[in-house]
Chains A and B, each alone.
Chain A
Amino acid sequence: MTPEERDHLLVRYLDGNLTPTETDALNGLLKTDAAARASLREMAMQAVLMGDLARERELATPRERARAPRVMASTWSRRILAIAAAVVLLAGATAVWLWRGRAEALTLARMSGAVSWTTEGGQPQRGLQAGATLRGGTLSLEGAASSAQLVFRDGSTIALNGDSELALPGDSPKRLSLRRGALSADVRPQPAGSRMLIRTPMAEVEVLGTRFYVSVQPGETAVSVEVGRVRMRRLADESLVDVAQGQTAVATLDVAKRMEVRPLPPAPVRWRQAFKKPPSAIWQGEWVRADGIDPGRLRNVPDLSERRADGTPIAAYTVNVRDNSGSIASVRPDSVLCVRFRIQGKHDMLALVGLHRPTGGFAGNFQTVIKPGVGSADASGWRTWEAPLSALEAKFPNCPQIPRGARVFLVYLACYAPDARLEVAEVSIQTPVP
């Protein structure tokens, strides 16, 4: 057995993942091979030291600790502290190993745009990066194209898209508060007595293990379920509805009306939006009425694109549409995105499409940069650009493909120069008929 194979076997043993035959082989190896025993001892020491290092860093933020009391490891911790207290003057700072926190953390699996984390103590954390462990605080997304995905220890995921704010209590990570914005969740079956709860200003959603979306708008909370079932409680009067697969429900302050559960509207395979009239509120952009020369259109509005490490905002100038349940259109890789637009001067334009999987859950953002001068301009400077979605680049490596039947929840068009004056007259998505 090579050293590599030996270490691989040891790692699997430490993970509790050996077959009985492999366990016998490992015991035989450890009885006869001093190098194997040394390797196992070294792994164990590294593990213990890494735990110490991680705790040391956690304990180095006293304000956080004071505001968010940690769960003690066990009654033993208190007992040894009580006994050691008499002697501890000597142990002094070295006794920090007697403490540790056990609250489950979430992993920030990916992020894009302006995403920030503030601990429960109110300390903003700079330099947030994918891979960070989050426990006890608030995750904030600013800007329509910002996005983040959190992974629970059991593999459940929460994806936040667009302007959103999600609070994660330090002592109970499965009781989330969505204060604004929207999330899509893919939740593994939850053990009885430990179900996930998502609280919003208007409602509380009890999750049994399912894929669903929650969207918070001023005065209302909407839930749409792709797979499984959730229970929504309207906070204003404590009324309950069960929202099943393929259904949606809205909770508001209006207790005179019963909460209704309705079928989710199907996403069309062909979608076209022009701006002869003011668009619905879900569009972001300034509507400009048609005149004798130019059609009705949306003019860009500033939106936060991301923040630099020092917190300085970087603006995008955007026109976009969002439907958090993914009802804009149902697409395939060969579906064609078409935009009629006008830009002053020579500026790049970003086109981004956000997708949900056909059966719920985040399927990724796909984007491309449209270079100046693409297509031919008419006399008024209007250009038409189109491309199959397969030509767009995946923004996240873990979501590389566009699934057939994916549902569009965001179409985002933006320039990064304030003088570009992006205007959009029409957006469409067409899926070829087979």
Chain B
Amino acid sequence: MAMNQQQVVQTLLAARMRVSAAVWVIVRDAHAAEDIFQDVAVKALSADVQFDREPQLISWAQITARHQALNWLRSRKGHVLALDETVLELIEREWAPEAMRPEGERIEALRLCLEELPDQSRQILRLRYFEGYSCEEVSRAVGAGLDAVYQRLSRLHRALRECIQKRLEAASQAKLEAP
């Protein structure tokens, strides 16, 4: 029996992070990644496609999103695919296990980890990942050199990765210990 629209929306919402993040790796533009995910969602809700099971829908969404992202790149002058398609497939295949955790838990962990960062670090992250500034634009905005911005960002990603991991593990432990 085919999934109904309600089930499709629920499944897509649950898989949104991994699909959007996979697209983001290709297009390297947060707004484009979001547009592409929306496009995939529109297609999934249309009458042209039907899905019997969640894994089928997710697999279809990932492949469609990848193709959309590659088309987006090709349509823009100066944007080229820097990563081999084999690399993209490897990344996509490995994505599922670590993205299975509910998105809300990751967001909450990230929120708490961001609060621990100094103001300037948060500013750099906000300019880069929400405002969509290039690193050069970030460097102008914060008055730092380009290489310093690269260093800061790579350190911040590492620090956040460790912090999020710790918080998720603590949350899992708390669940286990809950009566």
Contact of A98 among B38, B82, B90, B131 (CB under 8 A): B38
A11/B83 contact (C-beta < 8 A), A48-B33, A80-B38, A87-B45 known: no
In terms of DSSP, what is the predominant structure of the interface of chain A?
helix
A50/B137 contact (C-beta < 8 A), A8-B151, A102-B31 known: no
* Contact A84–B9 (Cβ < 8 Å): yes
A37/B90 contact (C-beta < 8 A), A53-B107, A76-B42, A131-B119 known: yes
Give complex CA distance A42, B17 in Å: 11
B172 at interface by CB-CB < 8 Å: no
A100/B158 contact (C-beta < 8 A), A27-B87, A44-B24 known: no
* Contact B130–A51 (Cβ < 8 Å): yes
* Contact B21–A50 (Cβ < 8 Å): no
* Contact B45–A84 (Cβ < 8 Å): yes
* Contact B94–A133 (Cβ < 8 Å): no
A77 at interface by CB-CB < 8 Å: yes
Count the B residues whose beta carbon is within 8 Å of the partner chain — how many?
73
B25 at interface by CB-CB < 8 Å: yes
A324-381 interface (Cβ within 8 A of B): none
Contact of B110 among A38, A49, A91, A104 (CB under 8 A): A49
Q: Mark A149-167, 1 if CB is under 8 A from B, else 0.
A: 0010111000000000000
B5 at interface by CB-CB < 8 Å: yes
Q: From A8, which residue of chain B is reached at the shortest CB distance?
A: B154
In the complex, which residues of chain B have a beta carbon less than 8 angstroms from the beta carbon of A45?
A: 17-18, 21, 99, 106
B49-76 interface (Cβ within 8 A of A): none
A269 at interface by CB-CB < 8 Å: no
Q: Mark B152-170, 1 if CB is under 8 A from A, else 0.
A: 0111011011001000000
Minimum distance in angstroms from B167 CB to a CB of chain A? 13
In the complex, which residues of chain B have a beta carbon less than 8 angstroms from the beta carbon of A40?
A: 25, 91
Q: From A31, which residue of chain B is reached at the shortest CB distance?
A: B87
Minimum distance in angstroms from A426 CB to a CB of chain B? 37
* Contact B34–A153 (Cβ < 8 Å): no
Q: From B95, which residue of chain A is reached at the shortest CB distance?
A: A41
Interface residues in chain A, defined as those with a beta carbon under 8 Å from any beta carbon in chain B: 3-4, 7-8, 10-18, 23, 26-27, 30-31, 34, 37-55, 73-74, 76-77, 79-80, 83-84, 86-88, 90-91, 94, 97-98, 100, 102, 104-105, 107, 109, 129, 131, 133, 151, 153-155, 398
8 closest residue pairs by CB, A with B: A54-B130, A7-B154, A44-B21, A131-B123, A155-B140, A15-B135, A50-B129, A87-B5
Contacts A73-B38, A107-B123 aside, 9 further interface pairs with beta carbons under 8 A come to A4-B154, A8-B150, A30-B84, A40-B25, A73-B34, A77-B35, A79-B38, A87-B8, A131-B142
